Amino acid sequence: MNRIVFIRMFTATCGLLFLSLWGVAQTQSRSAQLIQVLVTPNKADWTYALGEEASFEVTVLKHQVPVENATVSYRIGLEKMPPTQSGEATLSSGTVVVGKKATLDTPGFLRCEVRVTVDGADYRGFATAAFAPESIQPTQQLPNDFWTFWNAAKAEAAKVPMDAKLTLLPGRGTETVDVYEVNIQNYELGTRLYGILARPKKPGKYPAVLQVPGAGIRPYAGLIELAAEGMITLQIGIHGMPVTYETGLYNDLGAGALRGYQFFNMDDRDRYYYKRVYLGCVRAIDYLYSLPEFDGNNLAVWGGSQGGALAIITTALDNRVKYLASFYPALSDLTGYLHGRAGGWPHMFNETNAPFMAKDDKIAVSAYYDVVNFARSVKVPGFYSWGYNDETCPPTSFYAAYNQIKAPKELYLVQETGHWTFPEQQIKVQEWLVAQLRR
């Protein structure tokens, strides 16, 4: 498969996930801005040893030419935390260096955020310096009965009949691929799990890819072009509703009944919203294994953000998964904010949410759903990719999870990326998945 097809696959068919597409659009938008605020760490790899001093060079461009004598304001500090340095500086020759003695003596990330006003409009740029990121350890605790809880939950869910229903979507299929909406029973009687199944028309045995979703409520198109390459693909939603309705319905639900679903019933580990989500991912694997076209062995799970979390979690929960791919996983080290550093999305214990969420019962429940506690049990090869500039899923949080993984792992680090990906990252993960599944 050539690289043009790779890029088209990921951008035209929801590829990596919805947030990746949003990120690509954001990249294009940022590059098209009249004024660009460039913040550059003084090390090419943005990575420092503990105690090493970092600094940041600031350049403001207009028409790709440095703006001289502009005044910028800057803030330097741990991501999501109050700044430890702040001030103003003048770009007397088009550039200026700030934060000359910025450093950390414990593993983590320092972010330099710069703002400037040009012709009455405000602009912003930032860069993030990593200090010994491979040594970041989680703040989250591992409950003694963590696997007792999840093994019991899986055993109960396994008793529920799958009751699978397929609806052909003839307008989405191609000459070589059939596409269906899948409707199966989830972890309790009466609960449903929906997704888009795409499988080759040609008879045979094929590997499978389960794509788990990023946060939000939306319809899904299916991974049709990947199926055309000789794979069964299943792209699932997590909210127990069909995934083929008009976008407006999902927007209404996201602003209404499902707004803040990440916090629903968090005071009870048996009723927390993500229990249905995690067990639904296992049920999706049950379904893939039930397909006669599946080769019975080669199965990968992948996603980004919330989906990056679900990829790791599903792999830990189900030893039938042979490979995983995870981009900037959410739900990682959720308790970071309670220990003076950034915690993972959905930031349930940050300054804004802590008055309502930082209660003993909710903190205790978070431990049963935190990626770091699943990451310890991952035993299969994985591909991971992210950058240091992620403001949605702070790198401190996902490194806390990543560093717990002892299985073979490949990290494709692109330092300047935030909560989005470059096409090159999308190409890399696709190449990796295809290479593993076709062994």
Please state, in angstroms and rounded to a whole number, the distance separating the CA atoms of residues 163 and 393.
36
Q: What is the DSSP-derived secondary structure letter of residue 40?
A: E
Q: Is residue 419 annotated as a catalytic residue, yes or no?
A: yes
Phi first, then psi: give them for residue 315, nearest 5 degrees: -60, -40
Phi first, then psi: give them for residue 329, nearest 5 degrees: -65, 135
Exactly one of 178, 318, 333, 390 is catalytic; name it: 390
113 residue type, one letter: E
* DSSP H or E stretch at residue 246: none
Interacting residues of 311 by C-beta distance below 8 A, sequence separation 6+: 212, 301, 302, 303, 324, 325, 326, 329
Please state, in angstroms and rounded to a whole number, the distance separating the CA atoms of residues 83 and 73.
12
Exactly one of 305, 326, 332, 397 is catalytic; name it: 305
CA torsion 122→68→42→99, rounded to 10°? -60
Quote the tokens at residue 165.
């229903």
**Closest C-alpha among 176, 233, 246 to residue 207:** 233
Interacting residues of 172 by C-beta distance below 8 A, sequence separation 6+: 179, 196, 221, 222, 224
Please state, in angstroms and rounded to a whole number, the distance separating the CA atoms of residues 262 and 359.
16
H runs (alpha helix) in 384-422 = 395-402
Find the length of the chain.
439
Q: Is residue 390 annotated as a catalytic residue, yes or no?
A: yes
Q: Is residue 347 annotated as a catalytic residue, yes or no?
A: no
H runs (alpha helix) in 370-422 = 371-375, 395-402
Strands 54-62 and 95-102: antiparallel
End-to-end CA distance of the chain: 16
Active site residues: 305, 390, 419
